[in-house]
Amino acid sequence: MFDAHIYKERRYKLKRRMQSGLLLFLGNDESPMNYPDNTYHFRQDSTFLYYFGLNFPGLAAVIDLDEDREIVFGNDLTVDEIVWMGTQPTLKERASRSAITETYPLVELRSMIEKATARGRSILFLPPYRHQNVLRLHWLLDIAPGDIASEASIDFIRAVVDQRNVKGPEEIVEIESAVNITVDMHMAAMRMIKPGITEAQVAASVTEVALAAGGNVSFPVIATINGQTLHNHFHGNTLKPGDLFLLDAGAETPMGYAGDMSSTVPVNNSFTERQKEIYTIAYSAHTEAVKLLKPGRKFREIHLAACRVIAQGMKDLGFMTGDVDEAVSAGAHALFFPCGLGHMMGLDVHDMEDLGEVYVGYDGQPKSTQFGLKSLRLARELEPGFVLTIEPGIYFIPELIDLWKREKRFTQFINYDKVETYKNFGGIRNEEDFVITADGYRLLGKPLPKSIQEVEAAKTRPLLHHPEEE
Ligand code: GLY
Ligand code: MN
């Protein structure tokens, strides 16, 4: 946990922004995998972590804006539970670490909410993303489960988003630590990738790095020779000579902050000429996007600049024709880059996606519905303290190519005969994490090999991660 005053100041800022009523925060509970006592790894709700720092299940909290009270609800362990789970500090002791003095058993939450409701006071809550919390809200507030998301408080959502979007110095330190572990995960993968090993072995090795650092992975590992599938969680293939291997993986620190990086490397020690040509375009889009990062610039513009680099590169290679600006405005480049350039990152790898991308990444403005742009998670003007990813890619997705070709989509911009010959190419993505500073940006963490020369050199260097070998 951070020092108690950090949590106190965060709640103070939130209280100053909100007017009246009760702010209700629900923590996460254990989530069973296949029977009640066999649970998934526990992950606390990120907004709960942000304001209260308490990283264990069975909690709720209320901030009473009118009476200026901050209350945490939860239960101390019974002796029966201590037999199985060991000694734990009391709720009071734990809550004091985030400067909370008022604690009550969980059963008291309902009577507090009922009393406030009876007096006509408003109860403000955030949209739940776990069914258990949908049911808890239904039980506490008597709102039909299907109506809960639409009854969530937009003012509360916007206040939390505005606060969490701008990272404090203590958060940057944590995120940078997550990113450094993430770099180690990618370096471990680069050095082991060779023909004959399996995707599952790479996934296991990068997970080991994250776990050994004391935290966890920040999202399910993508370790695949089929990088054209954006979120590919299948790890059943064996790496063959000539394959491209795409790793998209990140670490989460014990406090819950995320790193998120992608790298693409040849399974052989060097790229083929075809791979080099496509990789060079994706790399140029990446470096061009990074150069444009600065406060006051709209991320949508940076995304479109990266799209134009990709479209120009694909035109130079004969995959596209016509005017590049027109092709990008029409969305033709999305055949190769059907997703967004990046997203906010913090306590969540896609930060606050539960609160709504339109608030987090669009400042309340509507998203585009155009294929490609509709998947851009971040478009707003950048501000100092934003932490975000840059992750352009080039993907050859056979089903998408077949569909567009069949429907004769963008035939004025796409040379389908050439595209056909690359249907088995796979996909390329490189991803790094940045903080926006007062006058530009700063790369977070140690640099990861990215250029063709750097990647090929990193692949052939001997293993360095065993201390006795260093
Ligand atoms: N790293 C996964 C994603 O950004 O979607
Ligand atoms: Mn990402």
Mutating to test ligand 1, I would choose from 350, 353, 432, 433 the residue with most ligand atoms within 8 A of its C-beta, which is 350
Q: What is the CATH number of the domain that holds 147?
A: 3.40.350.10
Query: Angle at the Cα of 44 (from 38 to 50), degrees rounded to 5?
Result: 175
Do 124 and 22 touch, CB atoms closer than 8 A?
A: yes
Cα of 261 to ligand 2 centre, how many Å?
6
Cα of 407 to ligand 1 centre, how many Å?
30
Residue that terminates a domain, selected from 165, 185, 214: 165
Instruction: Clarify whether residues 19 and 117 are in a common domain.
Output: yes
Please write the tens of the pLDDT for every residue from 418-439. Answer: 999 999 999 999 999 999 999 9
Length of the chain: 470
State the ligand closest to the CA atom of 230. 1
Instruction: Clarify whether residues 150 and 214 are in a common domain.
Output: no
Amino acid present at 329: S
Instruction: Clarify whether residues 298 and 447 are in a common domain.
Output: yes
pLDDT band for position 466 (cuts 50, 70, 90): very low
Q: Answer yes or no: is pLDDT of 464 > 70.
A: no
Q: How many domains does the chain have?
A: 2
What percentage of the chain exceeds 70 in pLDDT? 98
Instruction: Clarify whether residues 149 and 204 are in a common domain.
Output: no
Cα of 222 to ligand 2 centre, how many Å?
11
What pLDDT was estimated at residue 214?
97
d(Cα 169, Cα 206) in Å, to the nearest integer? Answer: 28
Cα of 135 to ligand 1 centre, how many Å?
29
Q: What does residue 327 show for φ and ψ, rounded to 5 degrees?
A: -60, -40
Instruction: Clarify whether residues 147 and 206 are in a common domain.
Output: no
Please write the tens of the pLDDT for every residue from 89-110. Answer: 999 999 999 999 999 999 999 9
pLDDT band for position 8 (cuts 50, 70, 90): very high
Cα of 115 to ligand 1 centre, how many Å?
43
Instruction: Clarify whether residues 197 and 299 are in a common domain.
Output: yes
pLDDT average, residue stretch 56-71: 98
Average pLDDT over the chain, rounded to an integer: 96
Cα of 390 to ligand 2 centre, how many Å?
8
Query: What pairs with residue 75 in β-bridges?
Result: none
Q: Which atom of ligand 1 is nearest to the CA of 249?
A: 1
Q: What is the CATH number of the domain that holds 250?
A: 3.90.230.10
Instruction: Clarify whether residues 365 and 239 are in a common domain.
Output: yes
Protein residues near ligand 2, an ion, with CB under 5 A:
260, 389
Domain hosting residue 43, numbered range: 4-165
Instruction: Clarify whether residues 288 and 203 are in a common domain.
Output: yes
Q: What is the pTM assigned to this prediction?
A: 0.96
Which residues contact ligand 1 via a Cβ below 6 A?
219, 248, 260, 343, 349
Mutating to test ligand 1, I would choose from 262, 303, 375 the residue with most ligand atoms within 8 A of its C-beta, which is 262
Instruction: Clarify whether residues 154 and 179 are in a common domain.
Output: no
State the ligand closest to the CA atom of 248. 1
Q: Which atom of ligand 1 is nearest to the CA of 260?
A: 1
Q: Which atom of ligand 1 is nearest to the CA of 250?
A: 1
Please write the tens of the pLDDT for every residue from 45-58. Answer: 999 999 999 999 99
Q: Answer yes or no: is pLDDT of 197 > 70.
A: yes
Cα of 67 to ligand 1 centre, how many Å?
41
State the ligand closest to the CA atom of 432. 2
Residue that terminates a domain, selected from 165, 190, 221: 165
The residue ranking higher by pLDDT, 467 or 400, is 400
Q: Answer yes or no: is pLDDT of 356 > 50.
A: yes
pLDDT band for position 316 (cuts 50, 70, 90): very high
- Nearest CA residue ID for atom 2, ligand 1: 248
What pLDDT was estimated at residue 459?
83
Do 345 and 432 touch, CB atoms closer than 8 A?
A: no
Instruction: Clarify whether residues 340 and 209 are in a common domain.
Output: yes
Instruction: Clarify whether residues 233 and 273 are in a common domain.
Output: yes
State the ligand closest to the CA atom of 433. 2
Cα of 260 to ligand 1 centre, how many Å?
7
Cα of 193 to ligand 2 centre, how many Å?
22
pLDDT average, residue stretch 326-355: 98
Mutating to test ligand 1, I would choose from 179, 186, 230, 248 the residue with most ligand atoms within 8 A of its C-beta, which is 248
Please write the tens of the pLDDT for every residue from 151-195. Answer: 999 999 999 999 999 999 999 999 999 999 999 999 999 999 999
Q: Which atom of ligand 1 is nearest to the CA of 389?
A: 4
Q: Answer yes or no: is pLDDT of 265 > 90.
A: yes
Cα of 171 to ligand 1 centre, how many Å?
20
Q: Which atom of ligand 1 is nearest to the CA of 248?
A: 1
What pLDDT was estimated at residue 470?
37
pLDDT average, residue stretch 189-217: 97
Q: Answer yes or no: is pLDDT of 463 > 60.
A: no
Residue that terminates a domain, selected from 165, 187, 206: 165
Instruction: Clarify whether residues 348 and 423 are in a common domain.
Output: yes
